[in-house]
Structure 1
Amino acid sequence: MDEESRVNEDGDVLWQLASGFAAISMIAVGGGIAVVPEMNRLVVDVHGWMSNERFAQLFALAQAAPGPNVLVVGLIGWHVAGFTGMMVATLAMTGPAGLFAYGFSRMRARLAGAAWLRIIERGLVPIAIGLIFSSGLILAQAAAQGAKVAWLAVVLSVGSTLFVWRSDWSPLWVLGAGAVLGALFLQ
């Protein structure tokens, strides 16, 4: 492939990363974790940049690292187009949503006490919960597809969810247990 074709292809990929993640950022009610299924659809189904298994691995890596949940976007960008892809994907995911949140907070300050605003905010709660639940479902399915012992992936997903939900222990215990069980059973 000649240099000009490679540059055009890289530009197309960067544009696809930017436009895809900018659009996703605008529906991220409940945070970045709520749009994981849409991220998965974009990078696995639409563009074929990676497999479901690789997506689940990048998500797990991002969750193990300190920092915000949106770190997965940078890892996806890095996987697709290196350092430039990481920067483009991260800015596309955080920029529009950040500007929208800033504008909304300014508007909300002026409309504090409006009954219709409280109704809208309460209506967004079940939407956020549903989006976050669907994220967990997509990730559990991706983990089960890549696992040699699919039942173990399902048991780990359900057990991890219950543990984090019902205990006061750190979620890092779940990550550690998952790593040990994965090393023992999924070789």
Structure 2
Amino acid sequence: MPAPPVYSLRQLGAYFLRLGTTGFGGPVALVGYMHRDLVEQRHWISEDEYREGLALAQLAPGPLAAQLAIYLGFVHYRYKGAALAGLAFVLPSFIMVVLLGMGYKLFGGMPWIRWVFYGVGATVIGVIAVSAYKLTTKTVGRLQWGEMRKRWLLWLVWLGGILATVITGAEPLWWLLGAGLLYMVVKAPPRWIRRKSRMAGIWLIATGFFTFDGGTLQRMGWFFLKAGAFVFGSGLAIVPFLHGGVVSGYHWLTEAQFLDAVAVAMITPGPVVITVGFIGYLVAGFPGAVVAALATFLPCYLFTVIPAPHFKQWAGNTSVRAFVDGITAAVMGALAGAVVLMGLRTVVDWPTGLLALGSCLVLWYGKKVKEPHVILLGAIVGWLLKFFIHT
């Protein structure tokens, strides 16, 4: 059983509301913020509880950061805490993308977003690179030869996670499960393996605010439900799936509109997958935004809270703990691999390279500098660079 909470349900909701409002940087940065704030600084959540939540969030389909928020809300306040944490985390960015969708429909597109994203994207690479490094040292181990030699298998799993993610362009579930099983068998094989016994089977009118079609809403609901239920990995992993349905399949948006939707998600705080709200708004107004967001995040909630009680019971078992350690190392490698992939796509010239490197250095040496400040500065610098150099 977890220790009694040292915080109230209201404090929990207030924290995730603030994180959803100011938490820039995508899934890697967001899970890093939760560790820093809730484990290191406030001591609301233990290291073990956080790691269990991170492993479960990665195993279940849906957006990583939102699932981790739901799990951390579940730790002390069960289903009520999970629902509150998830809603508070997603709501601010949902409101933002709806407002941006209204402006998009009113003014017919926002090319300035890509100008801003030119700088924001590069700056965010630096933010998430620093977060991924700090998170890796907390969960896998410090970059010291003696410690790395003792935990060589975890580091090997971590490296495998990087390679698998970079090569496949996704965070492969088969590698995460395989890494967990490998580490469990080597470090703490369960009795059914040692005894070779049989395993028991457990596992607004101008902005199109109310412009929608009932049939389209139904199709959207089913499509986004599948997106939330069958796409594994971070929020970025959902983008190819959305593109296949929204642009190529149903032809709800043009290629340019879809790229704008992804850019909106990247420059707003909170989970990247909230782009579904913006897409839903463009397709069917506010009802479309609500349907798209609810359909995407409902599986995320269910796939987190349903196995959570059993997951915590199993967590005391040494074999399960070894399985979780293996998965966690693979997750950290996959997140580091995601940083590499995003960096390759975002750092396209020398200005973006300087912005990415500069944001890393500022966050590394500027102990009092906050991530939103760095990203805001990156947006301004990026816009100026784009305006004066590339136009």
Q: Name the TM-score class by shorter chain.
A: 0.7 to 0.9
Tell me the equivalent position of 1:47: 42
Aligned residues of 1:44 and 1:52 also touching (Cα < 8 A): yes
Q: 5+ unaligned residues in a row in structure 1: which ranges?
A: 1-5
Task: Give the 3-state SS of the residue equivalent to 2:140 in structure 1.
Answer: helix
In structure 2, how many angstroms separate the alpha carbons of the residues matched to 1:178 and 1:82? 29
Which of the numbers 12, 19, 24 marks the counterpart of 1:24? 19
Q: 1:166 to 1:62 in 2, by over 3 A?
A: same
Tell me the equivalent position of 2:151: 150
Give 1 or 2 for the bigger CA radius of gyration.
2
Q: State the Cα distance separating 1:49 from its structure 2 match.
A: 2.3
AA aligned to 1:49 is W
Aligned residues of 2:20 and 2:92 also touching (Cα < 8 A): yes
Task: Give the 3-state SS of the residue equivalent to 1:129 in structure 2.
Answer: helix
Which of the numbers 112, 136, 145 marks the counterpart of 1:140? 136
In structure 1, how many angstroms separate the alpha carbons of the residues matched to 2:104 and 2:178? 43
AA aligned to 1:164 is T
Pair 1:176 & 2:171 matched: no
Which of the numbers 8, 25, 33 marks the counterpart of 1:13? 8
Tell me the equivalent position of 2:74: 78
Which fold has the larger relative contact order, with Cα–Cα distance below 8 Å and residues 6 or more apart in sequence?
A: 2
Task: Give the 3-state SS of the residue equivalent to 1:157 in structure 2.
Answer: helix
AA aligned to 2:164 is F
Identity of paired residues, percent?
25
Q: 5+ unaligned residues in a row in structure 2: which ranges?
A: 142-146, 189-391
Q: Deviations over 1:119-177 (max 9, x none)?
A: 112222123333443443344223225x9953332222222012111136860121122
Q: 1:109 to 1:52 in 2, by over 3 A?
A: farther
Tell me the equivalent position of 2:30: 35
Q: State the Cα distance separating 1:180 from its structure 2 match.
A: 1.6
In structure 2, how many angstroms separate the alpha carbons of the residues matched to 1:108 and 1:130? 29
Return the TM-score normalized by structure 2.
0.41
Q: 1:71 to 1:169 in 2, by over 3 A?
A: closer
In structure 1, how many angstroms separate the alpha carbons of the residues matched to 2:63 and 2:115? 28
Q: State the Cα distance separating 1:116 from its structure 2 match.
A: 3.9
Tell me the equivalent position of 1:161: 162
In structure 1, how many angstroms separate the alpha carbons of the residues matched to 2:104 and 2:16? 26
Q: How many residues align?
A: 179
Return the TM-score normalized by structure 1.
0.79
